[in-house]
A and B are shown apart, each in its own frame.
Chain A
Amino acid sequence: MLYNVTIANRDSATFRVNGHRPLLEQLRHQGVDLPYGCEYGGCITCAAKMTGGEVDQRRQVALNNRQIKNGYVILCVARATSDITLEIGVESHDKLYRNPFLDPLQPHELKADIASTKV
């Protein structure tokens, strides 16, 4: 099963990916220049914003629930489960970084292992 990945901030360039391998690896193989660091889902360097579609990123441990709600996906471990649209690179990071003193997280917005389940 192959899916289309559209990169909205690269002239809507489209790439074909499978659902078995991480998006970072498959997109880099097709020539997309993407930032990355740890390659195991822990360091957020490769985060992209997904504006449409679905991925399986259960292996990521870097994002808190607010970042996930804002559409961020960790490309080094995320796998496509449908056609998706992404914004990539630091231009997509407008809501990724947040001054923690100015804009605190609510208990349900923390990372999954410590977030309260009550919204």
Chain B
Amino acid sequence: MNLYDLIVKKIKDIQAAGDESPVTNISTSSMLTAEITLVSSILVALIMLRLVSKVLMIVAVLVVLFAALTAMPLMPKFKKEQNDSLASMMFYVVIALAIVITLFYWGNLNV
């Protein structure tokens, strides 16, 4: 089994049971592009931590790189999470509210 077949198999494994859409060449290459874009964008964004601390930046980049490599492929999981179910949308809305309020209240008082 070559690398491409391995990727297709992994996508099929992660894809939701209810998702009947076939895994085609186009969908696989789209998934790969999204995967590479996601990981590279996050890694480049993490470099901005240099403004806080260079050591923190290096540690964060290495940790995220390791986590991304071990958890790959991330995009099928991300796609599954960003579905149209009201329950999951509500879940992320509540999480976002908590993060925003915590960051503002705690972040501004302590920075």
Chain B associates with chain A? no
Point out residues on A near B: beta carbons under 8 Å.
none
